[in-house]
Structure 1
Amino acid sequence: MKYSLFIVFVILSSQASWAQELNATVRVSGQNLPASANRVVDDMETAFAQFLNNRKWTQDNYAPEERINCNFIITIEDMPSVTDFTATVQVQSSRPVFGSNYETLILNFADRDWNFRYAEDQPLIFNPNAFTDNITSLLSFYAYIVLGMDYDSFGNLGGQPYFELAQQIVVNAQQQGGGWDQFGGNRRNRYWLVENMINPQMIPIREGLYQYHRQGLDIFAEEEDEGRSNILEALQGMEEISKLFPQAIAIISFFDAKNDELISVFTKGDPSDRKQAYNTLVAINPSETDKYQVIIE
């Protein structure tokens, strides 16, 4: 009997190890808060990480080593009451590059408008069909954004189902304001991030994610010149979109993640490609012109 129970336990444990998609690290900083808040800050750090890592977000099976590495860096700015918080969140995700030990940053997004209520030991319950609270809505939104970006990098437009799920969270939460709606002067919020990812006019950006990663970085170890050429082609496609939508958050977010990497890629190679890359980067992201200068030096 004990042996049978042990076998059942092993099977269930094995299934669980293949279930989760995210390997999320959550860091909550409450240094601006009184010392009495330390316990609840530690509690939310644990609870948020468990919510992200223990939930099955897709129908696919992931081996432990295939889980997506991501970071949620949460800074508590204010605590109006013992259960009310305002915070900023930096969300980052990465994926391995084939044939190397290198992990490339895919998403690097700063969310500066998050208000939520949390009490110690509060259960976190997410309903994909209705708004429940600002905690599970935000964490689930970014879980789907991370998944969408990752799937787009491995398969052309492969992240579509996850961007649609993220959009549904936005629809459910729009009445809450605070980063969930399209109004106001802040176009660098959750609403516009997912809008860019599902907007048909923005498809070249997502196609560029695939070309950049799968046809660029992933072949770089064996075919460096071809990989660099494909990355340049992906950037040139994004340049056309940047002319139509110069302040699109999807483009801004891409360069927040990729600037240093792009410089590393194009400081080598054919001088003609380097010049084209410089011109393209400056056209898309002129605020970093001085930084890009090293490409043509």
Structure 2
Amino acid sequence: MTRYLVLFGFLAMGFLPGASQCQQLNFTVTINSERARTQDRDIFEQMKSSFEQFLNGRTWTDDEYKPEERIKGNLLITINDMPQVGLFSATVQIQTVRPIYGSNYESLMLNFADRNWTFEYVESQPLEFNQFSFLNNITSLLAYYAYIAIGLDYDSFAPRGGDPYFETANNIVANAQQSSRPGWNQNPSDKRNRYWLANELYNSQVMVPVRDAYYLYHRKGLDLLTSKPEEGFENILQAIKMVEEANQVQPNSILTISFMDAKSDEISKLLKSAPDEIKEEAVEVLLKVDPNNARKYNDILKG
């Protein structure tokens, strides 16, 4: 299993591997219910508990994970409206991280805002999921992001290692389209939804360089910075160039934006320690692919 490539890194950080198989995710769910028009606050505690159990208590892959290998994530659900009892309108912010070899540092892998989620939930509701059919809009969304998170993690350890997980996420999208719920459809006016993210991760040849960049940036970049810093910085630069390559063909794609949303702060801090020639070349590319963060990238050159 490709994830075991980093086992020695975990040992170096003082982790002791467990002997038993466990689930793949370690997510914390936070429910912001300030806007919900209800006096029953207990339902949100139950919601948090049941969502976490669904994500963390299931086996999502056939691979064995040590407890310390579980993918850490945060899911912030903001309830925007409760038009009737049991019906909720919400936005979701999902973040996941990946440990870096030979260090205690965790790199932000996914930082994605899902702005249009509606669902029904009642107290003590069992959460059932079938990847081959649409059962409800709760488990479809939670499972979708579980597979996206796992797929990105595998992409960072092996070239396009996330293929089977992105395929499943893509199938969840196809099944959910029958529900006519927002976020699952090929909406040209909303290209930052679940459909487009899964489509660019699994179906788009134009976006393949971004997926390859996840591997180069993390496995050949960040994981080498403690042992081979020059090689690590060079590979980080090449990964940024690959993202720019895809952006030239398809500007402002959701996958390019998602990559930069997760990495812009990290890149701007890391590259301050890079050799001058890498700094200069990287800033030139970054200003093209992510001009909204120009000030942040120009600061790289100040050291």
- Identify the TM-score tier after normalising by the shorter chain: over 0.9
Work out whether 1:162 is the aligned partner of 2:176: no
Offset of 1:180 from its aligned partner? 0.2
Instruction: Find the partner of 1:240 among 234, 241, 245.
Output: 245
Rounded Cα–Cα distance in structure 2 between residues aligned with 1:289 and 1:18? 45
Rounded Cα–Cα distance in structure 2 between residues aligned with 1:167 and 1:143? 12
Offset of 1:37 from its aligned partner? 3.0
Offset of 1:177 from its aligned partner? 3.3
- Higher Cα Rg, which structure: 1
Rounded Cα–Cα distance in structure 2 between residues aligned with 1:89 and 1:137? 14
Offset of 1:35 from its aligned partner? 5.2
Work out whether 1:200 is the aligned partner of 2:194: no
Work out whether 1:90 is the aligned partner of 2:84: no
What amino acid is the match of 1:152?
D
Equivalent positions of 1:262-277 (< 5 A) are: 262-277=267-282
Offset of 1:270 from its aligned partner? 1.7
Instruction: Find the partner of 1:145 among 145, 148, 172.
Output: 148
| Residue aligning to 1:191 | 195
Describe the SS at the equivalent of 1:79: strand
What amino acid is the match of 1:263?
S
Describe the SS at the equivalent of 1:178: coil
Offset of 1:256 from its aligned partner? 0.8
| Residue aligning to 1:66 | 69
Unpaired segments ≥5 residues, structure 2: 1-17
Work out whether 1:282 is the aligned partner of 2:287: yes
Describe the SS at the equivalent of 1:37: coil
Equivalent positions of 1:10-89 (< 5 A) are: 18-34=21-37, 36-89=39-92
Offset of 1:272 from its aligned partner? 1.4
Rounded Cα–Cα distance in structure 1 between residues aligned with 2:293 and 2:53? 38
TM-score, length-normalised on structure 2?
0.91
Rounded Cα–Cα distance in structure 1 between residues aligned with 2:248 and 2:221? 23
Describe the SS at the equivalent of 1:48: helix
Offset of 1:184 from its aligned partner? 4.3
Rounded Cα–Cα distance in structure 2 between residues aligned with 1:81 and 1:184? 30
What amino acid is the match of 1:165?
T
What amino acid is the match of 1:269?
A
Unpaired segments ≥5 residues, structure 1: 1-13
RMSD: 1.2
Does structure 1 conserve the Cα–Cα contact (< 8 Å) formed by 2:97 and 2:110?
yes
Describe the SS at the equivalent of 1:222: coil
Q: Deviations over 1:101-128 (max 9, x none)?
A: 0000000000000000000000000011
Rounded Cα–Cα distance in structure 1 between residues aligned with 2:95 and 2:215? 18
| Residue aligning to 2:183 | 179
Q: Deviations over 1:31-74 (max 9, x none)?
A: 11245131111110000000001110000011111111011110
When structure 1 is superposed on structure 2, of 211-220 and 231-240 the one drifting more is: 231-240
When structure 1 is superposed on structure 2, of 283-292 and 109-118 the one drifting more is: 283-292
Instruction: Find the partner of 1:114 among 114, 117, 120.
Output: 117
Rounded Cα–Cα distance in structure 2 between residues aligned with 1:186 and 1:247? 12
Describe the SS at the equivalent of 1:201: coil
Offset of 1:269 from its aligned partner? 2.2
Describe the SS at the equivalent of 2:273: coil
Q: Deviations over 1:169-201 (max 9, x none)?
A: 000011323000012411000000011111122
Instruction: Find the partner of 2:138 among 123, 126, 135.
Output: 135
Describe the SS at the equivalent of 1:192: helix
